Amino acid sequence: MIEAKQVVKRIGNRDILQEISFSVGIGRMYGIIGPNGAGKTTLLQLLSGTDAPTSGEVLFQGQAITSIKRKDLAKRVAVLQQGGIPAAAFTVREVVQMGRFPFQNWLGEESADSEQLIDDAIETMGLTALANRQVDQLSGGERQRVALAKVMVQEPELLLLDEPTTYLDIGYQVQLLDTVKRWQQERQLTVIAVLHDLNLAAHYCDELLVLQHGRTAADGPPSAIMKPELILDVFGARAVILPHPETGVPQLLLAPSVPPSERRS
Ligand SMILES: Nc1ncnc2c1ncn2[C@@H]1O[C@H](COP(=O)(O)OP(=O)(O)OP(=O)(O)O)[C@@H](O)[C@H]1O
């Protein structure tokens, strides 16, 4: 569905991304993890076609993504950016409706009736009671849920998420990822998500790409990535990895840099 081939991004005289290659099949959920400044958001911009690599290419269904018309791409690829939607004087319902813009003609009309789709998205994200409130009166977490409802109504083939759980409490973090996972399975949606929470990434993603200083430090299934040596090398954090008692998925417990046995009392 989407493939990065030896992608390099240079800004000024600095290589922000160096020779990144991977491919993601239809209906898969792919996670991008790595420390601050590793190049995750930059990579997502290249995958969305909003920016072009300095060398290498991104192929969307076998076609160079930069050669696909903006309007066609807007129907097929949805992006949930870091921080969700800006505070603006529109109601929740109006903002969710904006997800249908790529499907409208210049009069703002659409051939299909999308009202039911909009109602469903508002309900799924628990926004029914807030539907007529202005988004600038909402909390950061509520706005993030509005942003997800907006991309839901777009019914994309590829969904790109940049730290989608920022601002969300733990209940909504799980709900958001459960919702995305459900669409992924029901509609064969392909998802690529930048995630900071490695435990959630291990639970929801089929495969993970670990970026470090713009390079691929590792990639593979969560069981191959969730290793104490890799976490220490890439993040500089000491961690213990244990299987989740219910799911068996590897989970990470952070430990202080100085173990208690070596601490002076
Ligand atoms: N327009 C730009 N001009 C110069 N440097 C940039 C530009 N955009 C990004 N960078 C630099 O590229 C590097 C990668 O940035 P990017 O935002 O992709 O990292 P990230 O992995 O998403 O980080 P974070 O986890 O902090 O969000 C950073 O060092 C950043 O300062």
The predicted structure's pLDDT at residue 9:
96
Ligand 1 center from residue 195 Cα (angstroms): 15
Query: Is residue 63 helix, strand or coil?
Result: strand
The predicted structure's pLDDT at residue 84:
62
Closest CA to 21 of 217, 220, 216: 216
CATH number of 2-221: 3.40.50.300
Over residues 251-259, mean pLDDT: 82
Ligand 1 center from residue 204 Cα (angstroms): 25
CB 110 within 8 A of CB 103: yes
State the Cα–Cα distance between residues 30 and 46, nearest whole angstrom: 15
Q: What is the ipTM of this complex?
A: 0.95
Residue 12 Cα: closest atom of ligand 1: 4
Task: Name 57's bridge partners.
Answer: 5
Alpha helices in 34-90 (DSSP H): 40-48, 70-76
Is the pLDDT at 22 greater than 90? The verdict is: yes
Ligand 1 center from residue 37 Cα (angstroms): 5
Percent of the chain clearing pLDDT 70 (strictly above) = 91
| Residues 6 or more apart whose Cβ sits within 8 Å of residue 212 | 34, 35, 38, 233, 234
State the Cα–Cα distance between residues 46 and 90, nearest whole angstrom: 29
pTM of the model: 0.88
State the Cα–Cα distance between residues 53 and 191, nearest whole angstrom: 21
In three state form, how does the secondary structure of 201-244 look? HHHHCCEEEEEECCEEEEEECHHHHCCHHHHHHHHCCCEEEEEC
- Copy the structure tokens of residue 164: 């989608």
The predicted structure's pLDDT at residue 248:
94
Ligand 1 center from residue 41 Cα (angstroms): 7
pLDDT digits (tens, 9 = 90+) for 87-105: 678 899 989 988 877 766 6
Q: How many CB atoms lie within 10 A of CB 192?
A: 26
Over residues 76-82, mean pLDDT: 85
State the Cα–Cα distance between residues 104 and 88, nearest whole angstrom: 22
The predicted structure's pLDDT at residue 72:
85
Q: Give the residue with greater pLDDT, 205 vs 259.
A: 205
The predicted structure's pLDDT at residue 129:
93
Closest CA to 211 of 12, 7, 49: 7
The predicted structure's pLDDT at residue 110:
64
Residues in the chain: 265
Is the pLDDT at 4 greater than 70? The verdict is: yes
pLDDT digits (tens, 9 = 90+) for 192-246: 999 999 999 999 999 999 999 999 999 999 999 999 999 999 999 999 999 999 9
C-alpha gyration radius of the chain: 20
CB of 13 closer than 6 angstroms to any ligand 1 atom = no
Ligand 1 center from residue 17 Cα (angstroms): 10
CB of 45 closer than 6 angstroms to any ligand 1 atom = no
Residue 34 Cα: closest atom of ligand 1: 21
The predicted structure's pLDDT at residue 231:
94
Average pLDDT, the chain: 88
pLDDT band at 116 (very low <50, low <70, confident <90, very high): confident
**Residue from 7, 10, 16 to probe ligand 1 pocket by mutation (most atoms less than 8 Å from CB):** 16
CB 114 within 8 A of CB 67: no
Alpha helices in 32-169 (DSSP H): 40-48, 70-76, 92-97, 115-124, 140-153
Q: How many CB atoms lie within 10 A of CB 250?
A: 20
Residue nearest to atom 13 of ligand 1 (CA): 37
Ligand 1 center from residue 214 Cα (angstroms): 9
- Residue 211, judged by CB atoms within 10 A of its CB (0-12, 13-18, 19+), counts as buried
Question: Which of 64-73, 97-106, 147-156 has the least mean pLDDT?
Answer: 97-106
Is the pLDDT at 173 greater than 80? The verdict is: yes
- Copy the structure tokens of residue 49: 């076609």
State the Cα–Cα distance between residues 5 and 247, nearest whole angstrom: 34
